[in-house]
Amino acid sequence: MAIVLMDNRLFVLHTQNTTYAMGVDERGVLRHLYYGAKIDRAADFMHALTHPIELWENGSDQVMEEFSSFGCLRNKETSLKIAYADRTRDFRYRLTNCETAGDELILTLRDEEYAFVVRLHYRVDEHHDIIRRWVELQNDGDAPVRVDRIFSAEIALAGEGYQVLNVSGVWAMEQQLHADPITAGKKVYESMAGCTGFSNQPWFAAYRQADERAGDVTFGCLAYTGNFKVIAECVPYHYLNVTLGISDTDFAMPLAPGAAFVTPEVYLGFTREGLDGMSRMMHAFEHDELMPVARRDVPQPVLYNSWYATEFDVFGEEQERLADKAAEIGVEMFVIDDGWFGQRHSDRAGLGDWYVNPEKFPQGLGHLIDHVHSLGMQFGLWIEPEMVNPDSDLYRAHPDWVYRYGKRPIIMGRNQYALNLTKPEVVDYLIATFDALLSSYAIDYIKWDMNRFMAEALDDAGNDGMVWYNHSRGFMRLARALRQRHPNMSFEACAGGGARVNAETLSLFDQFWPSDNTNPLDRCRIQEGYTMMYPAKYMRAWITDDSRLSTSFRARCAMCGALGIGSNLNRLSEKELAELKEEIALYKRIRDTVQFGRLYRLRRLETNSAQIWQYVRGGQCVVITLVDHAAERLAPVCLQGLEPQALYQVGEGERAYVVSGAYLMNCGLITAGNRDRSGTVLILNRVEGA
Ligand code: GLA
């Protein structure tokens, strides 16, 4: 049974391979007892619950809690901070109800003196080994309550010596992995960008001894596309406490009498198979449970984006010629980026005016789309809905639609202002505008960009403590409406690169643009961090021009995800075009395995002279090796995730050979030649008998 309740005080959740236990002790505290490898016998945890703990006066920090609140002599970071109308500022609760509904457990904590209720929700996904957690607040009183912090989950890990993994990044160098030991004090990962931003990610992985391949890892991933906060704290009473949810920096939520609030979800997991095990669990869960169903099993087409070829000088006829060249080399989707609309001749004007520029497209956009379709390709278009240039018709008509502070000049970012999405009429206008655009043309794909962060954060309803939250909800309402009205269209989320990569956006979009940086060696590091939580299918990766690096090296780095081409096809020689054509053909042979397979990051570029990634799906295994310095000769690498008894044909043609899965996993194979900056794709196919 997935959920076991004992004596209305012990609660044990089982997935296939993990157990999560909590219970109410004699003082009424809901204690966290265990999260880790499976322990079938739920009754064992009664011992942990009744085992007397000698408490000091400052007792609350001494025990691991399931949901802690500011106050009551606590010194650690907590999940909740509220203020009642009479200025009482703590939450003292009794567990008043526990109920299950299918795979969900709901624990109700009610304040002992005030009519305020917290419901802790746990949904057990046995198959994926994931526990979904979220919190619901309800003000049952007749006076408003101010909520200064409400996180989605709190996870305590017993013992000391943990490291916590997250990323650190900037524009064009996103997703740089950092594992930091938390031996004293605390570490905070946060965004104040109004979206996920570049700096950190809304997830954590905590472990004592783990690498890609093995070791116990506990992790949590927040599904929220606004300002988030993750705090990992070494509580001196021998445990690591991790809290995560909506950032409470510049947050204050008035909860009116009768009102309720539901937090975003956190997906929690535990694995013994190291960081790769964590990634594989999340990739499978995201595919099966989060991704938009209409496109979830559709492979990403090879796309060509003409941005680097023409930038803002977009003209219908030239785009048609580019489309001809793209079709010739095997591209499946042709995309026009920025510069097709309004008076958009540079990034200084036109943003907000979403009509096709008639001088740039004298025959209309439909003419180009028909041409692209006649070549057998899909058609895609770039938009940036949430922004406006001051030099635009939209801004001239609605100067009050942007965020601004009183008399101050508005802070400019990339010559544009952020539209105030806390105004319902702005979101309604954007839904109508983009719905009309998407309905007027036979568009197959949208690249949805967002190129500046919010600076002046003022909520339309005067609720400034909610402005960041309300802004992110405005974005979600807009995205959801367009998705619902155009269910078969493919949407890509981009934010000046990877500032909008998160598990909530993943539930409405079909792919992400991880970074504006397409240099292969930088990309290896970005992709390493990116795939910790998000799948290769969602990782758009372009081949772009760089005469210092071979086509195959650039291409094979991009093949680690969903391949795209950003090269200026007008400038490429016939030889280079032929090379691209060959690389695209190769990618089409491995694409299903790369996009839907299980990923094993056998070697990291950061710690080796090469990156080696392996993907396995059914009987096919693909190994992509990117060598930086061949001087350090590559040792054989042991593959993973194959069937030991099965036979695999390694490579193709005359030099192909057949060996067993056991050989490949234990003796290993050399995956690459001896050249600096070279990329190799090795295809292994399971074969019968021999
Ligand atoms: C951002 C994106 C780029 C491109 C430009 C267009 O920088 O990240 O890929 O779309 O905008 O202005």
Question: Which tens digits make up the pLDDT trace of 318-340?
Answer: 999 999 999 999 999 999 999 99
Q: How far apart are CA 116 and CA 137, in angstroms?
A: 8
Mean pLDDT to the nearest integer, 58-70: 89
Q: Decide if pLDDT at 196 tops 70.
A: yes
- Cβ of 566 closer than 6 Å to ligand 1, yes or no, is no
pLDDT in tens, 243-284: 999 999 999 999 999 999 999 999 999 999 999 999 999 999
Ligand 1 centre and the CA of 331: distance in Å? 20
For tokens 């990782």, name the residue.
539
Sign of CA dihedral 655, 658, 660, 661: positive
Q: Counting Cβ atoms within 10 Å, is residue 270 exposed (0-12), middle (13-18) or buried (19+)?
A: buried
- Mean of pLDDT over the chain: 96
- Cβ of 198 closer than 6 Å to ligand 1, yes or no, is no
Ligand 1 centre and the CA of 515: distance in Å? 10
Question: Hey, whose CA ends up nearest to atom 2 of ligand 1?
Answer: 496
Residue to mutate (ligand 1; options 170, 198, 307; most atoms within 8 A of CB): 307
The amino acid at residue 132 is R
Ligand 1 centre and the CA of 566: distance in Å? 12
pLDDT of 135: 99
Question: Hey, whose CA ends up nearest to atom 12 of ligand 1?
Answer: 338
Q: How far apart are CA 506 and CA 537, in angstroms?
A: 11
Asked if 80 contacts 99 with a C-beta cutoff of 8 angstroms, the reply is: no
pLDDT of 56: 64
pLDDT in tens, 157-184: 999 999 999 999 999 999 999 999 999 9
Ligand 1 centre and the CA of 544: distance in Å? 14
Question: Hey, whose CA ends up nearest to atom 11 of ligand 1?
Answer: 496
Q: Measure the CA dihedral 318/323/326/332, to 10°.
A: 160
pLDDT of 690: 56
Q: How many residues does the chain have?
A: 690
Strands (E), 145-226: 145-158, 163-170, 173-181, 185-190, 203-207, 217-222
| Full strand arrangement of the beta sheet holding 18-24 | 3-6, 10-14, 18-24, 30-37
- Cβ of 337 closer than 6 Å to ligand 1, yes or no, is yes
Mean pLDDT to the nearest integer, 439-458: 97
SS3 track for 555-616: HHHHCCCEEEECCCCCCCCHHHHHHHHHHHHHHHHHHHHHHHCEEEEEECCCCCCEEEEEEE
Question: Hey, whose CA ends up nearest to atom 6 of ligand 1?
Answer: 338
Ligand 1 centre and the CA of 471: distance in Å? 22
Exposed e or buried b for every residue in 490-528, given b needs 16+ CB within 10 A? bbbbbbbbbbbbbbbbbbbbbbbbbbebbbbebbbbbbb
Q: Decide if pLDDT at 635 tops 90.
A: no
More confident residue, 35 or 60: 35
Q: Please give the biggest Cα pair distance in the chain.
A: 83
- Cβ of 494 closer than 6 Å to ligand 1, yes or no, is yes
Question: Hey, whose CA ends up nearest to atom 9 of ligand 1?
Answer: 516
At residue 122, the 3 state secondary structure works out as strand
Question: Hey, whose CA ends up nearest to atom 5 of ligand 1?
Answer: 338
Q: How far apart are CA 461 and CA 423, in angstroms?
A: 8
364 in the Ramachandran plot: left (φ > 0), alpha (ψ -120 to 50) or beta? Answer: left
- Cβ of 496 closer than 6 Å to ligand 1, yes or no, is yes
Ligand 1 centre and the CA of 449: distance in Å? 7
Residue 273 backbone dihedrals phi, psi, to 5 degrees: -100, 30
Q: How far apart are CA 121 and CA 104, in angstroms?
A: 7
